Amino acid sequence: MDGASETLSAPRRIAITAEAAIPVGVLALDQLTKTWVRASMTLNETIPVVGDVIRLTYIHNEGAAFGLSIGQHSSKVFLVLAAIASLLVLYLLLTAPREERLQRVALALILGGALGNIIDRIRWSMVVDFIQVGVAGHFWPIFNVADSAVTIGAGLLAWTYLFKDHD
């Protein structure tokens, strides 16, 4: 076997690097924004960004996405579930066909977001949320960068399955 067949091609190395950069980038942006919010705002403080449509509202979320709670031990239960889901997403990312680029990007976004919220649960037994979007006084539940990455990744992943060529 020659050395060339054992090494990855340049395009494949670039794809692996880009796919590894996505979760690392999401994780870094998520943790940086949460650190900034914790240092700059007081709990439950609201700062308008775009009028009353987009604002920063600092809260602690012990439940799951969008404040879903299952009682006293929500944070621990969701930590375990998020860790299991992250392992599954990592497996899917590592085994996804290299030509399924959008699927791999989607999984990388989901992984980065999940890891961002897992870190919060380990460090503080809750997640820092701060992005609030709404219209005419009706607001979507407060979320963070990690939640955004998971949601965008899930949408892209659904897209890849819904519109995949079925041969």
Q: Which of 30, 147, 165, 167 is catalytic?
A: 147
Is 14 strand, coil or helix? Answer: helix
Strands (E), 30-142: 46-50, 54-61, 127-135, 138-139
Could you give the CA distance from residue 154 to residue 165 in angstroms, rounded to a whole number?
19
Tell me, yes or no, if 129 is annotated catalytic: yes
User: What share of residues in the chain are helix, strand, coil (percent, to 5)?
Assistant: 60, 15, 25
Task: Lay out the sheet containing 138-139: strands in order across.
Answer: 46-50, 54-61, 127-135, 138-139
Q: Which of 2, 120, 129, 165 is catalytic?
A: 129
Catalytic residues, by residue number, are: 129, 147
